[in-house]
Each structure stands twice: as structure tokens, then as C-alpha cells.
Amino acid sequence: MTAEPTASALPKNFLRPSLLLLLREQPAHGYELLERLQALGFKSSDPGGLYRGLRKLEEEGLVHSAWEASGTGPHRRIYEITRAGMEDLHGRAKGLAEARSTLDTFLVRYEEFVALRRAEAPEPARG
């Protein structure tokens, strides 16, 4: 998917863990995933790129799909994460957490010289 996250500093392959996370939350069809990706910073829509990404995840055994009948329209392919996908997601989330820690250290040190304006998004709840 060529959709660019709002912050260009996000990892280049951020779509992969994003899709796995969304499917970890609940199985979904492609159009729904396109809509839900917006909450993770993807602004433009690229259905072709999304489906190529989903096919690649399925080829790697990280996602499984099946056709689902629809009472109001055509059948839809529903995607869900596999156990291997959950393991891949966990590893990628750990890597992102480590990167966040490193970035936080950098930004704290840089802010000793220059005040950076933080994004308007609220801090995530920690439990």
C-alpha cells in the first residue's frame, strides 16, 4: 500500500504490523481495513496496495481468508490473523517499543536545546 502515514518518520513497512494489529482486534474485509487504517495514520487509500499486502501476509501464513456470503451484496473475502501472524505481530510490536524508547531518549536530549511541539493526539492509556 502506498498510503503514507501522517508522520514520514514512521517505519517504512508500518502497514504490515498495522494490518496484523487490526486483524488481531477482529477479522475484517478489505474495505473495512482501509477505513480502520486511517486511525493509525494512513490518510490516502490504495485498495490495490492493501490487497497486495494482504495476499503477501496470506502467502506467508500470517493471515487466513475465506469468502463470506452477504445478504445485501456480493460475497466478501474476510481476513483473520493466524497464530503465526500473532507471533509476528508481537515481535514487531516489541521492536517498535524498543525504537520508541530510543526515540524518546533522543527527543528528550534534543529538547534541552529546542522546544518541540508534540502532536495533538492524546497520550495512550497505560494499563
Is 123 inside a domain boundary? no
Is 92 inside a domain boundary? yes
Q: Give the orientation angle of helix 30-37 with respect to helix 15-25, to 10 degrees.
A: 110
Q: What is the reported pLDDT for 38?
A: 87
Domain extent at residue 45: 15-110
Q: Assess contact for 25 and 79: CB atoms under 8 A.
A: no
Q: What is the reported pLDDT for 43?
A: 73
Is 44 inside a domain boundary? yes
Is 23 inside a domain boundary? yes
Model confidence pLDDT, tens digit, residues 8-63? 556 778 999 999 999 999 999 998 999 999 888 887 667 888 999 999 999 999 99
Is 66 inside a domain boundary? yes
- Gap between the Cα atoms of 1 and 80, Å rounded: 18
Is 126 inside a domain boundary? no
Model confidence pLDDT, tens digit, residues 84-123? 999 999 999 999 999 999 989 999 999 988 887 665 555 6
User: How far is the CA of 74 from the CAs of 67, 68, 69, 84, 103, in angstroms?
Assistant: 10, 9, 7, 30, 46
Q: What is the reported pLDDT for 127?
A: 52
